[in-house]
């Protein structure tokens, strides 16, 4: 039976084919150290940057509507319509946009990819806001409402095998890839070659699943609010600290728990088996990861409310949003601001993609191999 490090490298190769796997065998300690650092970077840098961008975009719209006296339901409808239509169009036409963006490595493609991520991120945030605040305005807030939205979101995701779609930063990140950064992860994974009706259907399914993710998040987040603030009578600071502890401890546990799961997955793959209990374990592992993700989001979101310019609402949005976006662009993680649909199939990978420095290291090994081949060819000439 392979050890956890070997299984980890095998799983990395499954998720990122051709990324220096053979060379990583000779540098596995370096890769593992960088991966541990990646977990810290995800939680302390990339995750907060994404959350700052989301909070500023979401709350600035609320602030703008309140300033002009626009009713909440009008803002909810506008956000939902804009978000659904924009992301629906992206789901259908992203292959065309990818082809029209210019060659890999060109300035036009680099600029277009950042604009694409920014527009998609803003559209996605408005979709989430329209659903989330719309539910609150229509049905109010309470444990019953939270339980209903939790179930309405969880059931479609589990049935479709797409619960992983509810994972987000800091439980996994998305590093900008020049080849695929102008693309959308959809349920049927349609491409430019697929007929329009299939791409249209793919967009419909993907939007339904995205709304399911919003409802799942809404259920877990607001349930935590109601239990800690209403039932237990905690203060805003105490419930924020609770989520911070869950997020910080949980991300470490997720990283450690996935190692024995990798060993079991490799054994299952060799035996060609996938028993029901293994599917259930993977669903539970993902669900726990989702709650840890939400706790991390909630902790940072509320912390910014409490500590970052609390007496200047407008300035906190104007400062935190651009700052978060600047950090993400600087680190090459601008695609982290928008969502996608991802399958729960263990054969497609078990590990949470914390890969940042570790992936850059793997890419550097690939580049060394390319340069070595080029030098050998020049020597032969």
pLDDT tens for the chain, residues 1 to 381:
467 888 888 888 888 876 555 577 778 889 899 999 999 999 999 999 999 999 999 999 998 898 889 998 999 999 999 999 999 999 999 888 887 777 877 888 888 889 999 999 999 999 999 999 999 999 999 999 999 999 999 999 999 999 999 998 888 888 887 777 788 899 999 988 999 999 999 999 999 999 999 999 999 999 999 999 999 999 999 999 999 999 999 999 999 999 899 888 888 877 777 788 888 999 999 999 999 999 999 999 999 999 988 888 788 888 999 999 999 999 989 888 888 899 888 888 888 889 999 888 888 887 776 676 667 677 766
Burial 261-276 (b: 16+ CB within 10 A, else e): bbbbbbeeeeeeeeee
Does residue 88 contact residue 210 with C-beta atoms inside 8 Å?
A: no
Enumerate residues 6+ apart whose C-beta is below 8 A from 184: 90, 91, 94, 120, 206, 340
- What's this model's pTM, rounded to 2 decimal places? 0.92
CA gyration radius, the chain: 21
Question: Is 376 exposed, middle or buried, given 0-12, 13-18 or 19+ CB atoms closer than 10 A?
Answer: exposed
């Amino acid at each position: 039976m392979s050890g956890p490090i070997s299984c980890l490298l095998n799983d990395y190769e499954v998720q990122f084919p051709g990324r220096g796997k053979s060379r990583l065998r000779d540098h596995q300690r370096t890769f593992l150290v960088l991966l541990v650092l990646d977990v810290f970077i995800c939680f302390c840098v990339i995750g907060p940057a994404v959350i700052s961008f989301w909070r500023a975009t979401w709350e600035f719209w609320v602030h703008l509507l309140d300033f002009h006296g626009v009713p909440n339901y009008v803002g909810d409808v506008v956000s939902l319509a804009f978000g659904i239509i924009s992301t629906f169009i992206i789901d259908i036409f992203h292959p065309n946009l990818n082809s029209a963006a210019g060659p890999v490595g060109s300035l036009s493609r680099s600029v277009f990819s950042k604009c694409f991520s920014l527009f998609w991120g803003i559209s996605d945030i408005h979709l989430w806001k329209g659903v989330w605040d719309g539910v609150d305005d229509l049905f109010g807030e309470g444990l019953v409402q939270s339980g209903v939205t939790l179930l309405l979101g969880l059931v479609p995701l589990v049935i479709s095998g797409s619960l992983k779609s509810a994972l987000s930063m800091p439980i996994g990140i998305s590093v900008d890839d020049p080849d695929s950064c102008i693309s959308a992860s959809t349920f049927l994974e349609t491409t430019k070659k697929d007929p329009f009706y299939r791409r249209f259907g793919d967009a419909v399914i993907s939007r339904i699943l995205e709304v399911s993710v919003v409802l799942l998040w809404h259920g877990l987040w607001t349930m935590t609010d109601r239990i800690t603030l209403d039932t237990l009578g905690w203060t805003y600071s105490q419930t924020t600290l609770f989520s911070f502890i869950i997020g910080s401890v949980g991300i470490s546990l997720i990283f450690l728990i996935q190692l024995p799961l990798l060993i079991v997955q490799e054994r299952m793959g060799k035996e060609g088996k996938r028993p029901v209990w293994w599917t259930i374990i993977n669903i539970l592992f993902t669900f726990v990861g989702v709650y840890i993700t939400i706790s991390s989001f909630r902790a940072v979101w509320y912390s910014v409310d409490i500590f970052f310019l609390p007496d200047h609402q407008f300035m906190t949005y104007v400062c935190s949003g651009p700052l978060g976006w600047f950090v993400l662009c600087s680190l090459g993680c601008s695609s982290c601001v928008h969502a996608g649909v991802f399958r729960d199939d263990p054969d497609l990978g078990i590990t949470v993609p914390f890969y940042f420095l570790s992936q850059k290291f793997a890419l550097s090994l690939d580049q060394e191999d390319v340069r070595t081949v080029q030098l050998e060819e020049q020597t032969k000439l």
